[in-house]
C-alpha cells in the first residue's frame, strides 16, 4: 500500500442514491425473508443478543432493535449495513463470533419483530444490498450542527490548533495507520514494571473498534470547526462563514462516514483510498489557511 501522511479530519455520508439504469431497491415491507429463517434467527438472538438488547428487542445496555427508534435510525439504509454490523461488531466485546448466515437469520428475526411481513423465499446474502428499510436516510449537515451548537453550547474553550491536536490529529492517524497495521492481527502489548494509564487505555479497545470510534470522532467533531467565536492559535477568528471553509468541513465529515461504513464492513483494502481522500481533504484546507502562510497570517 502507498503510505499517506496527513493530519486530520474528513468524511462522506453514504446515502442510498438512484442512478439512471441502476436497479430500484426493494423495501423490507415486501416479504424479503421467510418465517423459518426468522425462527432460526430467534434462537440465535436468545443465545447471544437478548442480554444487551432485551427479551423483546426493546433495548437495554444496547439499543432497541424494534420500534420507532430503531426504524428511525435505519430509515432508508440498505439491509446489507445491518447484516454487516451484526456479523462484524456483535456481540459487543466478542465481535466476529456470529457467522454470516447467523447475521442474516438475525436480521430476518428483527424484521419479523418489527412487523414486516414474511415471504416465501429466504433472505440471501447476494440480495442484501438491493433491499432497504422504508423512508429516507437522514444526513446531518455541518452547518445545521454548528447552528445548533451556537444555541446550546458554551463558548469554545480551545483555539483551532488545540482542537485539531486534541481530536483531529490522533483520530486521523488511527485511520492512516491502517496502511501499515492490519486490525485483524492481534497486537501483543508489553507490560512494563510501572503501571501506565495511557498504555493500559490504548489496549482496552482493540481490532476494528478503535477504527470505528476514530471515524465517529471525525464525523462528530468536524462541525466544531464551525463554532462561532473560535479563534486560531494566532488570535484571528476562524473563518466559519467562508464558503470554502464550510466546504472543507463538509468534505471531512463525508470521508468520516465512508471510513465508518468501511470499518463496520471490515474492508481493509478500502482504507488505502480512504486514507488518500482524508489526507487530501486535510491538505486542501491547510494549503489555504495554514501551510503557505506564516503563523501571524494563518486563518485569513
261 conformational bin, left if phi > 0, alpha if psi -120 to 50, beta if neither: alpha
The candidate with the shortest Cα–Cα distance to 216, out of 11, 44, 73, is 11
What b/e string do you get for 236-269 counting C-beta neighbours within 10 Å, with b at 16 or more?
A: bebbbeeeebbebbbbbbbbbbbbbbbbbbbebe
Burial of 133 (0-12, 13-18, 19+ CB in 10 A): buried
- Alpha carbon 144 to its chain centroid, in Å, reads 19
Neighbours of 297 (CB within 10 A): 12
Question: What pLDDT does residue 149 have?
Answer: 45
What is the C-alpha separation between 239 and 234, in angstroms, rounded?
Answer: 13
Answering whether pTM is above 0.75, one says no
CA 185, 262, 243 angle in degrees (round to 5)? 130
Give CATH 1.10.760.10 domain extents, the chain.
33-122
What is the C-alpha separation between 7 and 126, in angstroms, rounded?
Answer: 38
The torsion defined by the Cα of 105, 106, 111 and 117, in degrees rounded to 10, comes to 30
pLDDT tens by residue, 9-30: 333 333 333 334 445 789 999 9
Residue 26 three-state SS: strand
The cell numbers describing 183, all together, are: 486490525
**Residue entry with cell 481493509:** 268
Question: What pLDDT does residue 2 have?
Answer: 45
pLDDT tens by residue, 137-153: 765 555 444 444 444 56
pLDDT tens by residue, 179-214: 999 998 887 777 677 888 888 888 888 899 999 999
CATH 1.10.3470 is right for the domain spanning 142-297:
no
Terminal alpha carbon distance of the chain: 36
What are the φ and ψ backbone dihedral angles of 119, each rounded to 5 degrees?
A: -120, -165
- The answer to whether 212 touches 263, Cβ cutoff 8 Å, is yes
Question: What pLDDT does residue 16 have?
Answer: 36
Question: What pLDDT does residue 297 have?
Answer: 64
**Residue entry with cell 451484526:** 86
Residue 119 has pLDDT above 80, yes or no: yes
21 prior amide bond cis, ω within 30: no
CATH among 3.30.360.10, 1.10.490.130, 1.10.760.10, 3.40.50.1110 for 33-122:
1.10.760.10
Give CATH 1.20.120 domain extents, the chain.
142-297
**Whole-angstrom Cα Rg for the chain:** 22
What are the φ and ψ backbone dihedral angles of 237, each rounded to 5 degrees?
A: -70, 145
Q: What is the mean pLDDT of residues 49-76?
A: 92
Neighbours of 105 (CB within 10 A): 28
- The answer to whether 206 touches 186, Cβ cutoff 8 Å, is yes
The cell numbers describing 285, all together, are: 484546507
What is the C-alpha separation between 13 and 33, in angstroms, rounded?
Answer: 28
What is the C-alpha separation between 266 and 185, in angstroms, rounded?
Answer: 13
Amino acid at each position: 500500500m502507498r503510505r499517506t501522511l496527513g493530519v486530520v479530519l474528513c468524511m462522506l455520508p453514504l446515502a442510498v442514491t438512484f442512478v439512471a439504469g441502476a436497479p430500484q431497491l426493494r423495501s423490507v415491507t415486501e416479504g424479503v425473508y421467510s418465517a423459518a429463517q426468522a425462527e432460526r434467527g430467534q434462537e440465535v438472538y436468545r443465545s447471544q443478543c437478548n442480554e444487551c438488547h432485551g427479551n423483546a428487542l426493546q433495548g437495554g445496555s444496547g439499543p432497541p432493535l424494534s420500534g420507532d427508534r430503531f426504524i428511525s435510525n435505519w430509515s432508508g439504509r440498505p439491509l446489507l449495513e445491518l447484516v454487516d454490523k451484526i456479523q462484524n461488531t456483535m456481540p459487543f466485546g466478542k465481535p466476529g463470533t456470529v457467522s454470516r448466515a447467523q447475521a442474516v437469520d438475525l436480521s430476518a428475526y428483527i424484521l419479523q419483530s418489527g412487523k414486516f411481513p414474511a415471504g416465501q423465499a429466504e433472505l440471501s446474502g447476494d440480495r442484501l444490498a438491493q433491499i432497504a428499510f422504508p423512508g429516507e436516510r437522514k444526513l446531518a449537515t455541518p452547518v445545521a450542527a454548528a447552528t445548533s451548537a451556537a444555541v446550546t453550547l458554551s463558548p469554545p474553550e480551545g483555539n483551532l490548533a488545540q482542537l485539531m491536536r486534541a481530536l483531529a490529529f490522533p483520530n486521523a492517524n488511527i485511520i492512516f495507520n491502517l496502511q501499515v497495521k492490519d486490525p485483524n492481527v492481534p497486537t501483543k502489548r508489553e507490560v512494563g514494571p510501572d503501571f501506565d494509564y495511557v498504555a493500559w487505555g490504548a489496549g482496552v479497545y482493540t481490532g476494528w473498534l478503535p477504527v470505528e470510534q476514530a471515524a465517529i470522532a471525525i464525523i462528530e467533531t468536524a462541525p466544531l470547526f464551525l463554532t462561532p467565536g473560535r479563534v486560531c492559535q494566532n488570535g484571528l477568528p476562524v473563518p466559519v462563514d467562508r464558503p470554502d471553509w464550510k466546504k472543507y468541513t463538509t468534505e471531512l465529515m463525508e470521508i468520516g462516514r465512508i471510513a465508518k461504513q468501511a470499518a463496520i464492513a471490515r474492508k481493509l483494502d478500502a482504507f488505502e483510498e480512504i486514507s488518500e481522500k482524508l489526507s487530501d481533504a486535510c491538505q486542501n484546507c491547510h494549503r489555504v489557511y495554514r501551510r503557505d502562510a506564516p503563523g501571524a497570517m494563518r486563518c485569513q
